[in-house]
Structure 1
Amino acid sequence: MKPISMLAVLGALALAHSAAAAPKKAAKADPVAAAIADSHRSDANRKLDENRMPDKVLAFAGFKAGSAVADWGAGGGYYTELLADVVGPKGRVYAINSPAFAKPEVWAAITQAHPNVLSLLAPAQAQVLAPGSLDGIFAHLEYHDLYFVSEKYQHPALDVPAVLKNWFAAVRPGGTVVIIDHVGPAGDPRAVVDKYHRIDPARVRADLEGAGFVFEGSSDVLHRTDDPHDVGVFDPAVRGKTDRFILKFRRP
């Protein structure tokens, strides 16, 4: 056996000591936690956190810094401002809304606090995304409205396959679509949406896969066992406490 060099031993000990003494790199801040803690968020939105569980939802969605994401049917911007923080200043969030549901004062505050947000207003039938412009689409409690028909709210019957064909063209390869919605019974989706404002998750998966997206997985963090699925989502018995599904798809 060859003798072990003392220099080699001392050198190894010195390296080990140096490694042990070296300060540890600071852990990267969690962008989702930072987004939820953002001081610009309204008290009204913060009160929704317990039920909506944005920490778990956004962790599952997995959007990265620098991404361009469309918040489809952004409503009052609850998720828009969270997404804006997650994708960061080099990213972009396009908040898609129908004029009937957008409050100018709310969006003025959001876009002032988040310069990477662009609020886009267009009637439902004119909401078209530019080809190859996005890394993701996020639809929170809005997918069912693709099947919604209402003269009162100026929402005509949409060609759902055409809408999803546009989504597929808009999302770059490798990009994702995340859909959260109220669980509804099986059946004709227009009838189910008209009666309950819900949709069968199996219908959503069939729609997205039919458009060319690949199913990536689901999360049950918003699953509720005490929702019967056959009452409208605005019924006081279930409002804000519905059973909701989360599905994620990838654009190959």
Structure 2
Amino acid sequence: MTMRAVMLAGLATLLVAAAPDVVSAPGRPEAMVKLDEGRKPAAVLAQSLIGSGARVMDVMAGQGYYSELLARWVGPKGKVFAVEPVSYMDDPKTAAAWDALKKRNANVELIVGAPGEAAMPDKLDAAFYHLTYHDLYWQSEKFKYPRTDVDAYNARLFAALKPGGVVIIIDHYGVPGMDSRAQADKTHRIDADVVKADMARAGFRFAGSVPILEMTGDDPTKLVFDPSLRGKTNRFYYRFVKP
């Protein structure tokens, strides 16, 4: 085992010990806590290679499920930049959820805009995509979500990360070989090999997969919002590092 591998293993051990306190500490909305069983956030954070004091970008953050956990994880000396498309903030419930979340977590900054258009913070230690990387291939007039130039976006991401910075991508396994934009539109999934290829082109090094969110019984041809599958999809968890 290399010295780097030993160091990463030691870091993961330390993070495993800290993660349950981050997840179980009081103050999170009940609706978010109910999602923990399927999302396994303690284990996800423990394997993330994200440390205390880190500057983290949470992309397409929804109502802030992971933004809040990451804010607790990195601590008061860290910072979480949550990127949220403009149209999502038109929902009064989402806007109210963010107002409350920012009051609970002073180290969270909300950036409103689609990923390809929003300002990207610099000197990042990490970027986090929880079931949202496929959205870089999605576009929708109905939801006012513009087309993203994926390679140009990832080039910006590479420039924004510090050397040694980590990118965490968790997403739904899609159909291998299927066109990424068609798949994002039809099922909100992505071919996992496309993610690896995208990140390699941008200059990132693959730093391993974590199998904790892989599940049997999923049908990769089905929409992830199908009631029979929602919350039960087979998901990959990939880590990438900027050399």
Query: In structure 1, the residue corresponding to 2:19 is in which secondary structure?
Result: helix
Query: In structure 2, the residue corresponding to 1:248 is in which secondary structure?
Result: strand
Query: Which residue of the partner structure matches residue 108 of structure 1?
Result: 99
Distance 1:249 1:125, change over 3 A: closer
Query: Which residue of the partner structure matches residue 71 of structure 2?
Result: 84
5 Å matches for 1:146-165? 146-165=136-155
Q: Which amino acid aligns with 2:134?
A: H
Q: Indicate the percent of aligned positions where both proteins have the same amino acid.
A: 43
- Alpha-carbon distance in structure 1 between the residues aligned to 2:121 and 2:22: 27
* Structure index of larger Rg: 1
Unaligned runs of at least 5 residues, structure 2: 1-13
- Alpha-carbon distance in structure 1 between the residues aligned to 2:217 and 2:16: 36
Normalising by structure 2, we get a TM-score of 0.89
5 Å matches for 1:119-198? 119-131=110-122, 133-186=123-176, 187-198=178-189
CA deviation string 1:174-196 (max 9, x = no partner)? 01000000100122100111111
Residue 110 of structure 1, CA deviation: 0.9
Aligned counterpart for 1:231 among listed residues 216, 222, 227: 222
Residue 101 of structure 1, CA deviation: 1.7
- Alpha-carbon distance in structure 2 between the residues aligned to 1:155 and 1:29: 37
Query: Which residue of the partner structure matches residue 8 of structure 2?
Result: none
Q: Which amino acid aligns with 1:226?
A: G
Residue 28 of structure 1, CA deviation: 9.9
Q: Does the Cα contact within 8 Å between 2:114 and 2:146 map onto a contact in 1?
A: no
- Alpha-carbon distance in structure 2 between the residues aligned to 1:28 and 1:210: 30
Answer yes or no: is 1:66 the counterpart of 2:57.
no
Q: Does the Cα contact within 8 Å between 1:220 and 1:245 map onto a contact in 2?
A: yes
Runs of 4+ in 1 over 6 A off after TM superposition: none
- Alpha-carbon distance in structure 2 between the residues aligned to 1:50 and 1:250: 28
CA deviation string 1:106-154 (max 9, x = no partner)? 11111111101111111344123144x2000000010000000110111
CA deviation string 1:39-93 (max 9, x = no partner)? 1111111110000000111111121111000001111100011000110000000
Q: Does the Cα contact within 8 Å between 1:128 and 1:166 map onto a contact in 2?
A: no
Q: Which amino acid aligns with 1:148?
A: W
Query: Which residue of the partner structure matches residue 202 of structure 2?
Result: 211
Q: Does the Cα contact within 8 Å between 1:175 and 1:251 map onto a contact in 2?
A: yes
- Alpha-carbon distance in structure 1 between the residues aligned to 2:163 and 2:62: 27
Aligned counterpart for 1:117 among listed residues 108, 121, 144: 108
Normalising by structure 1, we get a TM-score of 0.86
Query: In structure 2, the residue corresponding to 1:118 is in which secondary structure?
Result: strand
Number of aligned positions between the proteins: 225
Q: Does the Cα contact within 8 Å between 1:31 and 1:85 map onto a contact in 2?
A: no
